[in-house]
Amino acid sequence: MADKIINLDGVEVTFFKSSKAKNINISIKPNRGVRVSVPRFVSFKNAERFAHQKMDWMKKHLSKMQTLENKATVFNMDTKFSTKQHQLHIIKKDISSCKTIIKNGLLKVLVPISVQVSSNECQAYIRQAIEHTWRKEAKELLPKRTAELAQIHGFKFNKVSIRNSKTRWGSCSYNNNINLSLHLMMLPDHLIDYVILHELAHTKEKNHGVHFWNLLDKLSGNAKGLDKEVKQYRIGVY
């Protein structure tokens, strides 16, 4: 079933059916607006009534999201943007749909002549291409760097997995499996190291108690300061 876009009290809301959804869920993310996932057994009409009841909440969070979006890049043909290993080039071509080429240190996003680069659809595609490149780089760099830091500081871990986590930079399981977000690739190198050290410290100290912060401070030299610096970045805003 196709998405349904409705204007509710001046707010454009996209409703879509989801086979995974067990309840009606409202999400508000940068450059995506308000999206409502609707279980297959719930009608769009009921989902619309539910969204109306949450209007005050939506408007409050949309205001916060607008502030974040204003900090984000609006990509155009002249935008200078680089990942760790690739430079973005946006190129107009006589093609029918957008295409990505990652090769020789370049991230080429080919855009049909008929498509406006400033359109929401094209901007979303460019961000997907960047995140795809970050994933590729993260898989090459982060497990290796984790192993290096673990060896330097005498830590042992089970394995490293790269996730498209939108809520946290990293995590460490009870079994010392470390998950790192591909979005770490947007951070400067010293903050990537800090996040990795943070998760390695959890292989010995599972909570965020005094012993954990003392250990992390010893490892990083300035745990609280670096933690504050990391919090200046927002996943999905670049």
Strand partners, 36: 15, 26
Q: Mean pLDDT across the chain, nearest whole number?
A: 91
Which of 61-70, 76-85, 201-210 is predicted with the least confidence, judged by mean pLDDT? 61-70
Amino acid occupying residue 168: R
Residue 32 has pLDDT above 90, yes or no: no
Give residue-wise pLDDT tens across range 162-187. Answer: 998 877 899 999 999 999 999 999 99
**Once rounded to an integer, what is the mean pLDDT over residues 56-77?**
80
Q: For residue range 113-127, what is the model confidence (pLDDT) as tens digits?
A: 999 998 888 998 999
Q: Does residue 110 have a pLDDT over 90?
A: yes
Phi, psi of 236 (to 5 degrees): 90, -5
CA distance to 38, 54, 160, 163, per residue, from 27 (Å): 12, 12, 29, 20
pLDDT of residue 1 exceeding 80: no
For the residues 137-153, what does the mean pLDDT come to?
98
CA distances from residue 139 to 40, 125, 132, 143, 180 in whole angstroms, order as listed: 36, 21, 11, 7, 10
Angle between helices 120-153 and 189-201 (to 10 degrees): 60
- With beta carbons less than 8 A apart as the criterion, state whether 174 and 206 touch: yes
> Does the global pTM surpass 0.85?
no
Mean pLDDT of the 123-147 span: 96
Tokens representing 230 are 């990391």
For helices 189-201 and 223-230, what crossing angle results, to 10°? Answer: 120
Mean pLDDT of 128-143: 96
Give the pairing of strands 99-103 and 106-112. Answer: antiparallel
Q: Which of 21-25, 33-37, 157-161, 164-168 has the lowest mean pLDDT?
A: 164-168
At 143 the pLDDT is 98
pLDDT score of 111 more than 60 = yes
Question: What is the pLDDT at residue 6?
Answer: 87
The domains located in the chain, with CATH, are 4-71 (no CATH), 87-133 (no CATH), 136-230 (3.30.2010.10)
Would you tell me how many other CB atoms lie within 10 Å of the CB of residue 161? 14
